[in-house]
Structure 1
Amino acid sequence: MPSPSPTFKKEVEMKREEDAALIAFYSSFKDLFEFFCLNTTIHGTIRLVCSSRNKMKTAFWTLLFLASFAMLYWQFGLLFNQYWQYPVVLSISVKSQQTMFPAITLCNLNPYRVNLVSKNMAELDNLARETLHNLYPFSIPASTLEDNSSVSLENWTNSEVNSSSFKLDDSIALVRMGGGKVGFRLCNQTGGDCYTKIYSSGVDAFQEWYSFHYMNIMSQIPPIIDISKDDDHINNLVYACQYDGLPCKASETEHFHHPVYGSCYTFNKGGTDEFWKALKPGIVYGLSLILKVEQKDHIPLLSTKAGVRVMIHSHNQTAFLEHEGFDIRPGIQTTIGITQVRWLGTSGPGAKFLPIWPLALSSQATHPSP
């Protein structure tokens, strides 16, 4: 029996190596395609090989396979497109319920004169007249200061103010600094630890200097003032007040003295009176005020502005009018719309709703009053 040729032996060895390999590499794409069609679980691919003798059947299954493959990628495209759009499900429910009206604080932009310190205020006015005369070629008309009457505080307190014990410190004078600036120097009681307040504007410097002396004078007035003994004093600022078509009560108004704006009044500070329940939205059902802003009884040198400082805030909240309030000028009618915001904390089991009234006006329409 003839021995096998070396070529046959080489082919047999290569066949064995291919069968023993972990990963089989096919010599042609046709063999790889046939192996894929015979071993895959994709429905219909085996028809591409078994029906190779029938060209019509092979073409039909080929088109069907390609159409199915295209449909698969089309579905993938729809899914990815929907994913990158980040769709959400939003559920909105509108409920109408009663809520408490916020607290409203009003202050006059120019504080009142008070007769308890009228003598000291007259001294300050004379010092201010001399200061302006020394710094600038300008004199304050005497009628500007003398025609301003004083607001009585006799019914507010039984304490007596000893005006003779207070002496206006004229050493704290407004002087010119270098570079066209104006300022004044402040020191402690021993004359040490001094610092100088310098302003580039003469108007700002004069008002700050006048305010400093004014605060020293007003410190003589007792800090606790019982407004219930003189309910008519609120009429100096509020001419008329209505809420939901009903007149406001003086007992629902709290009075306090602000160091910059003088007498201030807060409506509905506690937020417990049923009178201030908001039943319906709208201007007719809100708070309506007619305010009197007259500069006759005010201090003309303390402020050059005329109007009312207003702040809308939450109940039992301290009103920081210098930072959060807004001004309303006289001679106009102003409509302010507000929106209550509630913050819900979900970080713990004790999370609560926190109602606040931010100083963000949803709408404000201003037009001259008739």
Structure 2
Amino acid sequence: MKVMCDPKPPNASMSERGNEGLIEFYSSFKDMFEFFCKNTTIHGTIRLVCSSSNRMKTAFWTLLFLASFGMLYWQFALLFSQYWTYPVVMTMSMHSEPKMFPAITLCNLDPFDLVSEKLAQLDQMTEEAIANLYGHKTSIVSSRYKKDISVKGGSANLSSSSFQLNRHISLVMLKEPDTGSKKKHFKVGFKLCNATGGNCFYKAYSSGVDTIQEWYRFHYMNIMSQLPLIINISSHEEHIQNLVYSCQYDGEPCRESDYIHFHHQVYGSCYTFNSKGTDLFWKATKPGISYGLSLILKADQNDRLPLLSTVAGVQVMIHNHNQTPFLEHEWFDIRPGIVTNIGIRQDEVHRLGGNYGKCTVDGEDVGVKLLYNSSYTLQACLHSCFQDKMVERCGCGYYYYPLPPGAEYCNYNKHPGWGHCFYQLYNRLADHHLSCFAKCPKPCWESWYKLSAGTAKWPSTKSQVEYRANVDTLRDIAKVNIFYQQLNYRSVDESPVYTVNLLLSNMGSQWSLWFGSSVLSVVEMFELLLDIMVLSLIFCYRRVKAKKTLKMAQPLAISSISLTLENYRAVHEDLAADWNSSRTNQNVGTVAKTKNGNLPFRSICSKTPTPELNPDVVLNGFRHIKDHSVETDLNS
């Protein structure tokens, strides 16, 4: 709403100016647009009015204005389309400050202290399978010790259980399809069927070694899945002295409270140093070997299953605090008789969530319940999701991952078709056909360590006397030094390409380019749109009101008058004459009669307008109706 754009001139009469309202609106769209073009700060609009006498110029400036307007909003569309894609830019920065030493996990690669007899049977079955395939024997069983299982209150082993190795799942030689080559190609695999036996496939590899290891691992999982039913692994504690002979950090001996112990399904007894990352003892203030962690480890090569783990020594993983170590994905092998120096460099990444990317801060908003008692990681989420799918579709859990509540591990004595179900489900996960990758986002903050290693023979010949070790002992020990190469760390941060401030700045630049205007001009545009809507509503209201008034109007109530065609003409002729005479003599009160003696209607018609001809009279041809009520009333 605004004051009229065309105010009264100063010399207007006071009465006319007094009739104006306090707030008035435009009377038409033309007035509104004319006022806008004359008073707006947008360049070029005034030319639409000033050149109105020249239609060619008006048309030219109209086209130019519309073209500029179209180009402006085309640029706006490009800006918004880029903004709504939410692009990010990676910025890299270097920081240097004292840092907490990472968590270090060591595993002795000897998970077989709890089992002996069934694994020995599996080794014997493996020797027979290799002999049948390749025609030569191996000595797997004799290459390691056989230990009994110690249990509280007596002894027990897997032979006392109902578990039996399934010899029907054996290694076979598979001939590949004929490719026209003279040389025949074979694959080694093993057959897996579902619970009914109606659907089967061969798990095969082009390498016989890979097939034998996978086949051995499959039987090994079926053996180890029985352990929770027989023995409590967590109660079978081992002392760290069985793995670590010496431990020093920053020249100080390690404390007994600096590590935690757990048992891994494949890699045996494991110990994690500085798992929480809260003790200031592990604060790194200087880089270099002398200020890092130095360990002398037992790397016994006797108790090994070469078909499950081909590496002799100790496995080391460097990871973040409160994080589950996934040694099957990230590890470092420490070989016996060798000193290994591992330098650490740290990188950090900060990701944007929300519209800019899919990430989670703490995993609380993820639709997968973690089965690990640790902080959120992508691997922990994927493993938990896969285990849920495994329990849902196969009826049991994969032995390498923790179990959800109420589930049990798979073994082919109780779940005959679990292997068929597992490998098909795992292939779907590897091909990204399961929903786990969609459900598990990356962490919004993530830190990882880049490792560089160097090795040397250890101990040297001269230092053997100092360690007082014989040749057999030297074959079973190793040394590892873990340290920060430098305290500088690289931080990679995501930031939005288009922020709201940058978007408004670019829009302002485009607005100034095409119209040379400011923010107030934008306000004027919004005001114009508001005026258009208000004026449209006013016009609509007036139209609706006029229609209602027309419907409510009734025809003038007049008593029925019976007139002949002659009387009707005479009345009108006399009315015209009487009208002229009444103008000159208005005080005359006498009433004259018409020529035919009928009373004229001067006294009435002088005060009321002449009634219109009744449509019924016209349509009926002035039929004579015997009704003299009007004449009687007038004569009286």
Q: TM-score, normalised by structure 1?
A: 0.63
Contact 2:251 2:290 in 1 (8 A): yes
Within the candidate set 227, 234, 238, 1:226 is matched to 234
Q: CA deviation at 1:231?
A: 4.2
Q: Establish whether residue 215 from structure 1 lines up as the match of residue 211 from structure 2.
A: no
Within the candidate set 141, 148, 162, 1:145 is matched to 141
Aligned to 1:55: none
Aligned-partner Cα distance in 2 for 1:340–1:285:
16
Q: Evaluate the alpha carbon distance shift between residue 283 and residue 160 of structure 1 in structure 2; reply closer, same or farther with a 3 A threshold.
A: same
Aligned-partner Cα distance in 2 for 1:260–1:231:
16
Q: Evaluate the alpha carbon distance shift between residue 336 and residue 176 of structure 1 in structure 2; reply closer, same or farther with a 3 A threshold.
A: same
Q: Evaluate the alpha carbon distance shift between residue 265 and residue 202 of structure 1 in structure 2; reply closer, same or farther with a 3 A threshold.
A: same
3-state SS of 2:247 partner: strand
Contact 2:247 2:253 in 1 (8 A): yes
Aligned to 1:175: 172
Q: Which amino acid aligns with 2:213?
A: Q
The number of residue pairs the alignment matches comes to 269
3-state SS of 2:209 partner: helix
Aligned to 2:448: 358
3-state SS of 1:111 partner: coil
Aligned to 1:130: 128
Within the candidate set 280, 283, 290, 1:284 is matched to 290
Aligned to 1:75: none
Q: Establish whether residue 302 from structure 1 lines up as the match of residue 308 from structure 2.
A: yes
Contact 2:117 2:158 in 1 (8 A): no
Aligned-partner Cα distance in 2 for 1:338–1:288:
14
Aligned to 2:100: 100
3-state SS of 1:301 partner: coil
Contact 1:161 1:220 in 2 (8 A): no
Contact 1:239 1:289 in 2 (8 A): yes
Aligned to 1:3: none
Q: Establish whether residue 186 from structure 1 lines up as the match of residue 192 from structure 2.
A: yes
Instruction: String of CA shifts for 1:142-183, please: whole Å, max 9, x gaps.
Output: xx5235224666379999665331111111101100131100
Within the candidate set 343, 346, 349, 1:337 is matched to 343
Q: Establish whether residue 240 from structure 1 lines up as the match of residue 236 from structure 2.
A: no
Aligned-partner Cα distance in 2 for 1:157–1:355:
49
Aligned-partner Cα distance in 1 for 2:353–2:243:
46
Q: Evaluate the alpha carbon distance shift between residue 287 and residue 146 of structure 1 in structure 2; reply closer, same or farther with a 3 A threshold.
A: same
Q: CA deviation at 1:204?
A: 1.1
Aligned to 1:26: none
Within the candidate set 150, 154, 158, 1:154 is matched to 150
Instruction: String of CA shifts for 1:40-71, please: whole Å, max 9, x gaps.
Output: xxxxxxxxxxxxxxxxxxxxxxxxxxxxxxxx
Contact 2:148 2:157 in 1 (8 A): no
Q: CA deviation at 1:211?
A: 1.1
3-state SS of 2:450 partner: coil
Q: CA deviation at 1:250?
A: 4.0
Q: CA deviation at 1:365?
A: 2.6
Contact 1:113 1:149 in 2 (8 A): no
Q: Which amino acid aligns with 2:454?
A: A
Q: Establish whether residue 114 from structure 1 lines up as the match of residue 113 from structure 2.
A: yes
Aligned-partner Cα distance in 1 for 2:447–2:336:
25
Q: Which amino acid aligns with 1:111?
A: D
Instruction: String of CA shifts for 1:194-215, please: whole Å, max 9, x gaps.
Output: 3311111111111111111111
Aligned to 2:180: none
Instruction: String of CA shifts for 1:90-114, please: whole Å, max 9, x gaps.
Output: xx997644x3211112234x43422
Aligned-partner Cα distance in 2 for 1:357–1:239:
31
Aligned to 2:264: 258
Q: Which amino acid aligns with 2:194?
A: N
Contact 1:100 1:278 in 2 (8 A): yes
Larger radius of gyration: 2
Aligned-partner Cα distance in 2 for 1:281–1:327:
23
Q: CA deviation at 1:270?
A: 1.6
Contact 2:111 2:266 in 1 (8 A): no
Aligned-partner Cα distance in 2 for 1:156–1:332:
38
Q: CA deviation at 1:311?
A: 1.8
Q: Evaluate the alpha carbon distance shift between residue 300 and residue 339 of structure 1 in structure 2; reply closer, same or farther with a 3 A threshold.
A: closer
Instruction: String of CA shifts for 1:266-314, please: whole Å, max 9, x gaps.
Output: 2222212333222332212211111222221222332332233322111
Q: Which amino acid aligns with 1:113?
A: F
Instruction: String of CA shifts for 1:185-229, please: whole Å, max 9, x gaps.
Output: 1223333443311111111111111111111111122396436x7
Q: Which amino acid aligns with 1:200?
A: S
Q: Evaluate the alpha carbon distance shift between residue 224 and residue 312 of structure 1 in structure 2; reply closer, same or farther with a 3 A threshold.
A: farther
Any stretches of 5+ residues in structure 1 without a counterpart? Answer: 1-91
Counterparts of residues 1-20 of structure 1 (less than 5 Å): none
Contact 1:340 1:355 in 2 (8 A): no
Q: CA deviation at 1:316?
A: 1.2
3-state SS of 2:309 partner: coil
Instruction: String of CA shifts for 1:123-148, please: whole Å, max 9, x gaps.
Output: 1122112111111121123xx52352
Aligned-partner Cα distance in 2 for 1:210–1:151:
20
Q: Evaluate the alpha carbon distance shift between residue 236 and residue 137 of structure 1 in structure 2; reply closer, same or farther with a 3 A threshold.
A: farther
Question: Cα RMSD between the aligned structures?
Answer: 3.4
3-state SS of 1:338 partner: strand
Q: Evaluate the alpha carbon distance shift between residue 112 and residue 356 of structure 1 in structure 2; reply closer, same or farther with a 3 A threshold.
A: same
Q: CA deviation at 1:263?
A: 2.9
Aligned-partner Cα distance in 1 for 2:349–2:232:
36
3-state SS of 2:227 partner: coil
Q: TM-score, normalised by structure 2?
A: 0.38
Give the share of equivalent positions with the same residue, in percent. Answer: 54
3-state SS of 1:209 partner: helix
3-state SS of 2:455 partner: strand
Aligned to 2:212: 206
Q: Which amino acid aligns with 1:368?
A: K
Contact 2:101 2:284 in 1 (8 A): yes
Q: Evaluate the alpha carbon distance shift between residue 344 and residue 207 of structure 1 in structure 2; reply closer, same or farther with a 3 A threshold.
A: closer
Q: Establish whether residue 166 from structure 1 lines up as the match of residue 163 from structure 2.
A: yes
Q: Which amino acid aligns with 1:325?
A: W
Q: Evaluate the alpha carbon distance shift between residue 174 and residue 166 of structure 1 in structure 2; reply closer, same or farther with a 3 A threshold.
A: same
